Structure 1
Amino acid sequence: MDIKRAILWMIFIFSSFMVWSNWQMYNAPQQPVQANTTTPVQHNVPASVSDVVATNTTTAPSEKVVITTDVFKLTFDTLGAQLVHAELIKHYDTEDKTKATVLLDNEQFTYTVQSGLIAAVNVQKSYPKQDTPFTFVSSEKVLSGDTLDVVFRAESDGIELTRTYTLHKGNYRIDVKDDVKNISTESQSPSLYLQITRDNHEPAGGISMAPTYTGWAVYSDAERFQKVTFEEIDKNSAEYIKTASDGWISFIQHFFVTAWIPEQGKERSIQLRKAGKDVYAISTVEALGTLSPGQSTISKATLWVGPQDQKALAAIDPTLDLVVDYGWLTLIAKPMFKLMSWLYSWIGNWGWTIVVLTIIIKLLLYPLSAASYRSMAKMKNVSPRIQALREQYGDDRQKLNAAMMEMYRTEKINPLGGCLPILLQIPVFLTLYRVLLASVEMRGAPWLGWITDLSAADPYFILPLIMMATMFLQMKLNPTPPDPMQARIMMIMPLVFGAMMFMFPAGLVLYWVVNNILSIIQQWWITRSLNKAANDQILTHK
């Protein structure tokens, strides 16, 4: 058995998986956009606050309205009734855990949410939109019950718009209702736009070895989930559905998402564009029909500004949890997360959930790993005979290999059996890696003692050191390679993997440590049983 070659293959396979996983994150294939046979009505959608102000000679009045709930601290600007700042009270800031996560802002960076009314490009009307002064007409600014209505009103060019943001206790969902009334003496045909504006800054707290997706995403039943990057917008190569009557638009970053979910069943156009220097916007535009004088219409939408909570997102729309990006491992990562969520509902701690998950996986793979450990135990027992064959045949590799293969067949030994336990771990390891990296439920989740965040690296490197120690112990239980070079490589292997674990999430290292401990117990038991059986057989013959 060429142990050196087997180890090199294992390292190559593991590294290839990691490179492929990260490459997929940045190069997920986009589905082709089908040609649209209808031409949507063209509108001039405002790009951002800075663009609107730049085109006006006077500065419109602006007042900031701060609204607080048990999960939010939101700031609305009366200029356009925009949402310009959002602090997620229950989620800590990556760089300063004493502060709350700031998801939306228009001062330190640009990431805001707007909506408004516009006319067709050939109609000279300026309806209430994000550069229109609104009046804050509700009174309560602190959520005291289950819901809180935040109401703004504006009039412009014969249209009165009353916008109501409804906030919910314990939820990042915001229901948005636009009540549009024609207060002029002529018919009006406004359209409603919903928009997310953001610059291209990278969110803080990323892992260099584990890049996550930061960019736009559009969903429709026709084209499913489509990602669009900043680079694709810059190059005018973005491919996404342009009209739909279902789905949603969003901006995704690690652990968090902002999404507009318009009322389903209404035809709308979708646009992604560069809105200024390093500023981009995504919007939907929906025609509200023709309003006669005095006539009103209501449009409803849902806005999500918060964590990628899969259960809560799916409650809004069954497809919205697609923003939790597991990459090409989605097919097995989603069932794994569902199993972990079920276990967590009973255990109440994500660290112990990982421990129990590891035990379950170990039990499922027991037959395969047991066969491998039996083969390794037999290999250790015949090591003196292998050494004797080496001395017998010297440099005649052909005869030596033939004699060793004959011995393996006689003793029913698989010479590559020692590779199987690690190879079996790789797909599980990579899937758990994606789950830990993409699931906000793991962010800030403690295990015990010094492990206060399973999604971050062990701050004191205790788990990686334990992992290295358990790997060394496993090596001691394995047969020692007769070749000194191969023996040295086997001893270096725990150092290589252990060094990698210094930078990986603690939850992932916890899985590997528990798996190693279970493997040591299993390997020791199988070796003991085989040796006992062999001794009993010798005593019987005597």
Structure 2
Amino acid sequence: MADDTNGASKKPSTGQKKELSMEIRLLLAFGLMGIVLFVTQYLMPKQAAKPVVEQSAQTAQQAPAQKQAEPPAVAPKPATPTKPGAQKPEAVAAVSSQKEELHVIDTENYRITFSNQGASIHSWILKKYKDNQGKPVELVSSTAAPKVGWPFSYIFPGQKPSTNLNGALFAVKQPDPATLEFEYSDGTTTARKTFHFDPKTYKSLFRSEVTGGGKGISHQLAWRGGFGDRSVHNAPDLQKSVHYDAAKAKLVEEGSGSASKGPVTVSGSFHFAGIEDTFFAAVVLPEPGSTMEMTTWQDHIVPVAGAEEKPHVGISLGGKDINEALLFVGPKDTSILRSTDPKLETMIDWGWFWFIAKPLFLALHWANDNLTNNWGWAIVFATVIINLLMLPMRFSQLRSSQKMAKLQPELQAIQARYKDISMKDPRKQKQNEETMALYQKHGINPVGGCVPLLLQMPFFIAFFKVLSVAIELRGAQWLWVTDLSQPETIPIRILPVTMLITQVGMQRMTPAVGADPQQQKLMMYMMPIMMTFMFYGASSGLVLYWLTGNVVGIAQQYFFNKAAAKPAPPQVIIPKKK
């Protein structure tokens, strides 16, 4: 059952291998392309290395007073909770229900189904967000519950009550449509849970209290077996436990691997703590200055019916006999997080280039809200602006290319002198020295052609992060694209193919800096193919960004070539007067 734990704190395991993040893969890809661009300007081209079962919610009639022989003790309201340490009577009347019941809280943002068995949550549906199957996102895993319990099940790290509270049938009261009060007592053990929801936001208040023999029993409330949208690719690896250490002003995230050798418990003054995936989070925000415990679990769960078991992260929170806090369960939308608590925005991972990604997202948001009313066209708009800002760099690259073209006869002469010399021959170094001396004489930077590509790398990675973590772009449509944060769903993806065509076209328009036909062929076809291979499985918004940059680059190169083709005006020599 979910309440079996020794409560021991263990250090995270470091033995598991981690896959390279997408940011590192992108850096490696750009580094490889930069090496190819650099090496081909000096040497003969070499062969490049190959490279839920959804839980149905049914509304039950609320009439607990008629179903009980004795009225339950009055549950405290969330607004006026009893302070920890208050004295409890040693003997209380038995309070329970006769059968399992489902109770529903339905607001404009979510639909939550509670069970009075264990006072747990069997479904938490976010109405305004869809999964990959087009259904409203279900945050609760029904396939995990039989093994690790439903969300808000009890866990007792230390003293355990005399009865299994996760199997107990609680009596339920609903004083208003946004409040549920659960209570159970067998005369010795008493447990109460209260939930009060804000019908307009994703916030709620909860309170949980357990006593045994008149003494408080410390406990935690769990959300195990994974969390969030399970329809996305590799969902278990995207789910993490999270807490913000107020003392260190630091966000701490842990995957299921941190608990591979057993549950890991930390305690302290947390600004918030809970569980998350890329786009959604369920966190509690305790009173400032208070302390709490958080345990991270690894649960081997079947993600969906018929699939193989995979390790999923889980959490349990609390550590006192009375646990109460503000609860946020909803999307990691910047404006929603900020309005709930500004610190919650730290859960959005903008990556290494956050100083570019976050302003870029704000610029896209502004363009979408004020100009385009469409995230796809906002990406096009932002890309055009970025390329216009890089226009001076492109002019510099053009001048460098023109100088390189004029030096081709001298470069060919140097290559001819060392044509039959092996690459391992020390005399080959002399060729490189003569080539570099020629470049220096004419003020040419041989790697100048790589600079625009290197400058685009931070923007490329920033766009990738924005499309990966900004829930505002999740499900955003543009023309035939149904979701800019995902690859196209059609059999042949139009954006990557069009990107390949424009990349080849731009290479053909760019003046060749070398006379070697093999080198020109490498640059003209190999690089676009490498880029297309890398982009084919990327999000549509990312491909749209690069494609738009190619189109703008073609337009710029066209005017550059036209200007370069114009002959210099003839100089008029005025004879001196005698």
Superposed pair shares fold, TM > 0.5: yes
Q: What range describes the TM-score normalised by the shorter chain of this pair?
A: 0.7 to 0.9
Q: Is the 8 A contact 1:150 1:166 kept in 2?
A: yes
Residues 380 and 188 from structure 1, CA distance in 2 versus in 1: closer, same or farther, beyond 3 angstroms? same
Aligned mate of 1:151, from 159, 180, 185: 180
Please state how far the C-alpha of 1:527 moved relative to its aligned partner: 3.3
- Cα distance in 1 for residues equivalent to 2:496 and 2:246: 44
Query: Relative to structure 1, is the Cα distance of residues 119 and 282 closer, same or farther in structure 2, using a 3 angstrom cutoff?
Result: closer
- Distance in 1 (alpha carbons) for counterparts of 2:344 and 2:141: 23
2:230 maps to: 203
User: Is 1:489 aligned to residue 489 of structure 2?
Assistant: no
Alpha-carbon distance in 1 for matches of 2:181, 2:508: 71
Distance 1:163 1:354, change over 3 A: same
Contact 2:380-2:544 within 8 A present in 1 as well: yes
Match of 2:547 in 1: 513
Distance 1:153 1:403, change over 3 A: closer
Aligned to 2:388: 363
1:378–1:413: 8 Å Cα contact kept in structure 2? yes
2:101 to 57, 63, 84: 63
**Within the alignment, does 1:233 sit opposite 2:265 as a pair?**
no
User: Structure 1 residues 119, 256: closer, same or farther in 2, change over 3 A?
Assistant: closer
Does the alignment pair 1:452 with 2:482?
yes
Q: 1:63 to 1:222 in 2, by over 3 A?
A: same
CA contact (8 A) 2:139 2:227 kept: no
Normalising by structure 2, report the TM-score.
0.69
Coordinate RMSD, CA, aligned: 4.0
Relative distance call for 1:234 and 1:61 in structure 2 (3 A) is: farther
SS in 2 for 1:465: helix
Question: Where do 1:118-129 residues align within 5 Å?
Answer: 121=159
Q: Which amino acid aligns with 1:234?
A: S
Spell out, residue by residue over 1:410-441, the C-alpha distance to the aligned partner (whole angstroms, 9 max, x if none): 55433322222212111211121121112211
* SS at 1:437 equivalent: helix
Task: Summarize the Cα distance change of 1:391–1:357 in structure 2 as closer, same or farther, 3 Å threshold.
Answer: same
Distance 1:415 1:154 in 2: 76
Q: CA contact under 8 A between 2:131 and 2:229: conserved in structure 1? A: no
The Cα shift of 1:398 comes to 7.2
**Distance (whole Å) between structure 1 residues aligned to residue 269 and residue 497 of structure 2:** 54
What is the CA distance between 1:65 and its match in structure 2?
1.7
Q: Distance in 1 between matches of 2:218 and 2:332?
A: 30
Whole-angstrom CA distance in 2 between matches of 1:376 and 1:66: 69
In the TM superposition, what are the counterparts of 1:308-457 in structure 2 within 5 Å? 308-347=332-371, 348-380=373-405, 383=408, 386=411, 405=436, 408-409=439-440, 411-447=442-478, 449-457=479-487
**Partner residue of 1:248?**
272
Q: Which residue of 2 aligns with 1:168?
A: 199
Kindly state the Cα deviation for residue 255 of structure 1 after the two structures are TM-superposed.
Answer: 1.9
Deviation at 1:406, TM superposition (A): 5.6
CA-CA distance at 1:539 after TM superposition: 5.8
CA spacing shift, 1:70–1:200, aligned 2, 3 Å: closer
2:342 is paired with a residue whose SS is coil
Are the structure 2 counterparts of residues 264 and 117 from structure 1 closer, same or farther at C-alpha, using a change threshold of 3 Å?
A: farther
Q: Secondary structure at the match of 1:247?
A: strand
Q: Aligned AA for 1:370?
A: F
Q: Deviations over 1:320-371 (max 9, x none)?
A: 1222233444444333323332333323221122122212322333333321
2:506 paired residue number: 474
Q: Which residue pairs with 2:93 in the alignment?
A: none
* Consecutive unaligned residues in structure 1, runs of 5 or more: 11-18, 20-40, 42-57, 141-147, 290-298
- Return the offset for 1:114: 0.9
Once the 2 structures are TM-superposed, how far is the Cα of residue 174 of structure 1 from its aligned partner? 3.2
Alpha carbons of 1:394 and 1:265: their partners in 2 closer, same or farther (altered >3 Å)? closer
Shift of the alpha carbon at 1:116? 6.5
Distance 2:453 2:433 in 1: 27
User: CA 1:102 to 1:377, structure 2 compared with 1: closer, same or farther past 3 Å?
Assistant: farther
Q: Distance in 1 between matches of 2:515 and 2:409?
A: 9
Offset of 1:115 from its aligned partner? Answer: 6.4
Unaligned runs of 5+ in 2: 1-32, 41-50, 52-83, 85-95, 302-310, 422-427
Cα distance change, pair 328–112 in 1 and its aligned pair in 2 (3 A): farther
Correspondence 1:285 to 2:318: yes
Cα distance change on mapping 1:389 and 1:477 into 2, 3 Å: farther
Deviates more, 1:459-468 or 1:519-528: 519-528
Deviation at 1:90, TM superposition (A): 1.9
Cα distance in structure 1, aligned partners of 2:539 and 2:103: 39
Distance 1:475 1:422 in 2: 13
Letter paired with 1:215: K
Of 37, 45, 50, the residue aligned with 1:7 is 37
Structure 2: how far apart are the matches of 1:254 and 1:369? 37
- Report what 1:83 is aligned to: 121
Partners of 1:263 and 1:121 lie apart in 2 by 25
Distance (whole Å) between structure 2 residues aligned to residue 245 and residue 75 of structure 1: 31
Higher share of residues assigned helix: 1
3-state SS, counterpart of residue 198 of structure 1: coil
> What is the aligned residue count?
464
Is the alpha carbon distance of 1:104 and 1:158 closer, same or farther for their aligned partners in structure 2, counting shifts above 3 Å? closer
1:263 corresponds in structure 2 to 287
